[in-house]
Amino acid sequence: MTATIETPPVATQAAKQCRRPSETRVPGQQRAVVVLLAPFAALCLGVFVVPAAYAIYLSVFSQLHSGLGFGNGRTVFVGLHNFVVVLTDPSFLRSIGVTLAYIVLFIPILVVGSLAFALLLDSGLARARQFAQTALFLPHAVPGIIAAIIWLYLYTPGISPVLALLYDLNIQVDLLGQTLLIPSMVNIALWGGLGYNTVIFYTALQAVPREVMEAAAVDGAGAVRTALRVKVPMVRASVVTVGMFTLVGTLQLFTEPMLLAQSTPLIGNRFTPNMYIFDAAFNRSNYGLASAASVLLLVLCCLLSYAVARYSSRGARA
| pLDDT given for residue 96 in this prediction | 92
Burial letters 99-138, b for 16+ CB under 10 A, else e: beebbeebbebbbeebbebbbebbeeeeeeeeebbeebee
HSE-up of residue 316 (Cα within 13 Å, Cβ side): 16
Specify if 115 maps to a domain: yes
Q: Which CATH number fits the domain that encloses residue 306? A: 1.10.3720.10
| pLDDT given for residue 99 in this prediction | 93
Specify if 48 maps to a domain: no
Among 156, 179, 166, which Cα is nearest to 105's?
179
If one counts every other C-beta atom within 10 angstroms of the C-beta of residue 265, the result is 7
Specify if 25 maps to a domain: no
Q: Please give the average pLDDT of every successive group of 10 residues along the chain, which has 318 residues.
A: 46 52 66 89 91 92 73 81 94 93 93 92 74 78 80 87 87 87 91 87 88 82 83 88 89 88 89 94 91 93 87 68
Specify if 47 maps to a domain: no
Specify if 222 maps to a domain: yes
Q: In total, how many domains does the chain have?
A: 1
Specify if 83 maps to a domain: no
| pLDDT given for residue 11 in this prediction | 52
| pLDDT given for residue 17 in this prediction | 53
| pLDDT given for residue 211 in this prediction | 84
| pLDDT given for residue 5 in this prediction | 44
- Note down the domain range covering 118: 90-316
Specify if 304 maps to a domain: yes
Query: pTM score, two decimals?
Result: 0.80
Specify if 20 maps to a domain: no
> Which residue type does 138 have?
L
| pLDDT given for residue 27 in this prediction | 67
Specify whether the CB–CB gap between 78 and 288 falls below 8 A: yes
- SS3 of residue 64 by DSSP: strand
Q: How far apart are alpha carbons 296 and 132 in whole angstroms? A: 41
